[in-house]
């Protein structure tokens, strides 16, 4: 088991060194505003790769301190950056064993609090974001991952912390505090407390600050609210966007775009569209989306869902609606690659319905649209798809 842990730790340590080198090479740029999506990605990785190793060291140290205070000695220990252990020279009374076991988690939590306290007011948005994301990561690993790891592997401190038969009052009190802390953690996460908004450049950051100020002055304005929500979602703060949307829907339950935005948040990062997102998309379509691009996006997502569940005919209807909506856009607002994607999806739907000639026509249209943009990657992808369609016996 130790060899596995050390192997994984070395792999993570190698990745941590690479990340630290990238950040160090661009340290001045990393600290400067704005907080870009690239910097956010580095911070997300660093919240685990760079924050966990010192937390593990403090964790093991806080096991050792009570051992020393109780008159014992540490006869063996191990530190693998992302895991560790401390072995005392003796067995202690159950209450002292409980304190020694709990000490590690208290040390991890103290380290998380100190790191956050040092960074949450830093002038650099990137370092502030590192403080928030590291706090979230360390709380997750200390209060959720490690207890579950102990429960399933029977390795770790939480066997002793929750030894209700030996320390009923201490374990019971810890359980209450543990659950209360988890509830606060969940609420903070749901409210987007650990999130910050990323921007492409300084002008976009300034525009967002102005939009946020306008929303705070007039949160009842649907247009301002929806623009603000869209900026939050695109900037990497989905929980904040969701909270604002919930308030907007409560004030105006017939706001179609609010349900579309909610569905986009619910489907982000998901391989398959959740049923909650499907319901919100259906509601957005029923209420009536005014912008053609929004209608196209809603119908496209619904078509993908119905393709996934094997309802090809329903998917075709949604794709017809999506293509009709995007076709109404003028040349200045049109996105040929988006339209090409819709034709490609409709080609797939036709294949599911065994309408191979129509599938071929849509596949060819997707290529023509991609060629108009000069996007070689898209052209090659759609050409490969067309070759697959052409191989069907009905088209030979």
Which CATH number do you get for residue 289? 1.25.40.10
70 exposure class (CB count in 10 Å sphere: 0-12, 13-18, 19+) = middle
pLDDT of residue 47: 96
Tell me how far apart the alpha carbons of residues 357 and 64 are, in angstroms, rounded to a whole number.
73
238 exposure class (CB count in 10 Å sphere: 0-12, 13-18, 19+) = buried
382 shares a domain with 311: yes
Q: How many domains does the chain have?
A: 2
182 shares a domain with 46: yes
158 shares a domain with 92: yes
Phi, psi of 255 (to 5 degrees): -85, 100
In a domain, 69, yes or no: yes
pLDDT of residue 43: 96
pLDDT of residue 84: 87
In a domain, 197, yes or no: no
Residue among 382, 384, 385 at smallest CA distance from 336: 382
pLDDT of residue 387: 85
215 shares a domain with 185: no
Side-chain-side CA neighbours of 57 within 13 Å: the count stands at: 5
**Which parts of the chain register pLDDT below 50?**
none
Rounded to 10 degrees, the C-alpha dihedral 209/247/253/321 comes to 50
* pLDDT one-digit tens code per residue, 326-361: 888 776 677 889 999 999 999 988 888 888 888 888
In a domain, 196, yes or no: no
* pLDDT one-digit tens code per residue, 293-329: 999 999 999 999 998 888 889 999 999 999 999 888 7
In DSSP terms, 77 is beta-bridged to: 86
In a domain, 155, yes or no: yes
* H/E segment holding residue 222: helix 222-234
211 shares a domain with 170: no
216 shares a domain with 144: no
Cβ-based neighbours of 50, under 8 Å, separated by 6 or more: 16, 19, 20
Cβ-based neighbours of 278, under 8 Å, separated by 6 or more: 263, 302, 305
The conformational region for residue 122 under phi > 0 = left, psi -120 to 50 = alpha, else beta, is beta
180 shares a domain with 76: yes
pLDDT of residue 332: 60
10 shares a domain with 143: yes
Tell me how far apart the alpha carbons of residues 246 and 258 are, in angstroms, rounded to a whole number.
9
Does the global pTM surpass 0.85?
yes
In a domain, 320, yes or no: yes
In a domain, 58, yes or no: yes
Query: Which of 132, 157, 190 is the last residue before a domain boundary?
Result: 190
Angle value at C-alpha 240, between 235 and 241, nearest 5 degrees: 70
In DSSP terms, 84 is beta-bridged to: 79
Angle value at C-alpha 69, between 66 and 70, nearest 5 degrees: 90
Q: Which residue range is the domain that position 131 belongs to? A: 2-190
121 shares a domain with 241: no
Tell me how far apart the alpha carbons of residues 64 and 73 are, in angstroms, rounded to a whole number.
8
221 shares a domain with 186: no
221 shares a domain with 171: no
DSSP letter for 141, please. Answer: I
Phi, psi of 50 (to 5 degrees): -105, -25
Q: Which long-range contacts (CB under 8 A, 24 or more apart) does 211-216 make?
A: 215/244
């Amino acid at each position: 088991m130790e060899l596995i842990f050390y192997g994984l730790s070395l792999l993570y340590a190698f990745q941590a060194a690479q990340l630290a080198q990238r950040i160090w090479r661009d340290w001045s740029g990393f600290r400067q505003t704005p907080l870009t999506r690239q910097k956010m990605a580095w911070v997300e990785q660093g919240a685990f790769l760079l924050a966990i190793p010192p937390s593990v060291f403090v964790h093991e140290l806080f096991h050792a301190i009570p051992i020393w205070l109780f008159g014992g000695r540490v006869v063996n220990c191990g530190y693998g950056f992302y895991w560790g252990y401390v072995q005392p020279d003796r067995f202690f009374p159950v209450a002292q064993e409980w304190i020694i076991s709990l000490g590690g988690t208290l040390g991890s939590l103290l380290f998380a609090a100190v790191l956050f306290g040092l960074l949450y007011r830093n002038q650099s948005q990137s370092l502030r974001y590192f403080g928030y994301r590291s706090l979230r990561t360390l709380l997750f690993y200390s209060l959720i991952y490690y207890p579950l790891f102990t429960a399933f592997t029977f390795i770790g401190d939480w066997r002793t912390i929750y030894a209700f038969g030996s320390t009923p009052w201490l374990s019971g009190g810890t359980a209450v505090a543990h659950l209360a802390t988890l509830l606060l953690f969940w609420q903070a996460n749901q409210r987007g407390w650990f999130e910050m908004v990323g921007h492409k450049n300084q002008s976009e950051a300034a525009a967002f600050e102005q939009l946020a100020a306008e929303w705070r002055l007039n949160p009842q304005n649907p247009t301002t609210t929806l623009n603000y929500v869209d900026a939050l979602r695109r900037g990497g703060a989905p929980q904040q966007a969701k909270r604002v949307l919930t308030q907007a829907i409560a004030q105006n339950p017939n706001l179609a775009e609010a349900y579309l935005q909610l569905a986009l948040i619910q489907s982000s990062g998901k391989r398959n569209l959740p049923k909650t997102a499907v319901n919100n998309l259906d509601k957005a379509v029923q209420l009536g989306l005014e912008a053609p691009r929004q209608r196209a996006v809603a119908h496209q997502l619904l078509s993908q869902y119905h393709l996934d569940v094997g309802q090809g005919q329903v998917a075709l209807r949604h794709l017809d609606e999506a293509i009709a909506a995007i076709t109404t856009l003028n040349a200045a607002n049109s996105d040929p690659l988006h339209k090409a994607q819709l034709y490609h999806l409709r080609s797939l739907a036709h294949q599911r319905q065994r309408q191979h000639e129509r599938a071929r026509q849509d596949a060819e249209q997707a290529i023509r649209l991609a060629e108009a943009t000069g996007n070689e990657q898209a052209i090659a992808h759609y050409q490969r798809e067309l070759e697959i369609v052409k191989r069907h016996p009905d088209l030979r």
